[in-house]
């Protein structure tokens, strides 16, 4: 009987922790979307899903339009080293069009 009560308490605590975690995650929502220009565009979506896995998402205005291509190529190499799947050519072009449009 005593053990069963202990188990129940443990289960309840675990359940509450899980619920809190889920609640927190939902409250935060997507990490960068609200700060991105044209948040619903295809480019913003690629940026959102591929550019904050390893570091905080970079500020788009931190680089000139003609610098992004090299950077994105370098990031592909970083992805390769971590065995993350690469952006497809079309995802890359969508992202570059977006970055170039909104950079300085
Ligand atoms: C697999 C991990 C990884 C992913 C994913 C990643 N990066 Fe990076 N990023 C790095 C590392 C490591 C550095 C530091 C070394 C360097 O600059 O190459 C860095 C540095 C940077 C810098 C600062 C360097 C500079 O020249 O100003 C920018 C900007 C950047 N990343 C942009 C991006 C963008 C845009 C994406 C999405 C396409 C992205 N990163 C995705 C690993 C990653």
Structure confidence by residue, pLDDT tens digits, 4-27: 677 676 666 555 454 555 554 444
pLDDT at 102 over 60: yes
Q: How remote is the CA of residue 28 from the centroid of ligand 1, in Å?
A: 23
If you average pLDDT over residues 45-63, what whole number do you get? 94
C-beta separation of 23 from 54 below 8 A: no
What is the chain's mean pLDDT, rounded?
83
Measured from the CB, is residue 34 less than 6 Å from ligand 1? Answer: no
Residue 35 pLDDT class (50, 70, 90 cuts): confident
Q: Do 58 and 35 touch, CB atoms closer than 8 A?
A: no
22 vs 63, more confident: 63
Nearest ligand 1 atom to alpha carbon 78: 1
Cα of 53 vs centre of ligand 1, distance in Å, is 9
Please give the Cα distance from 104 to 100 (Å, whole number): 8
Closest ligand 1 atom to the C-alpha of 84?
1
């Amino acid at each position: 009987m005593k053990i069963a009560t202990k188990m129940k308490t443990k289960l309840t605590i675990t359940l509450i922790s899980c619920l809190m975690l889920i609640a927190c995650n939902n409250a935060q929502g997507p990490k960068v979307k609200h700060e991105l220009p044209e948040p619903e565009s295809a480019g913003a979506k690629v940026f959102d899903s591929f550019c904050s896995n390893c570091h905080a998402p970079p500020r788009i205005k931190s680089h000139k339009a003609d610098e992004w291509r090299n950077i994105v190529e370098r990031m592909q190499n970083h992805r390769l080293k971590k065995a993350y799947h690469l952006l497809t050519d079309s995802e890359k072009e969508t992202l570059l069009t977006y970055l170039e449009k909104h950079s300085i």
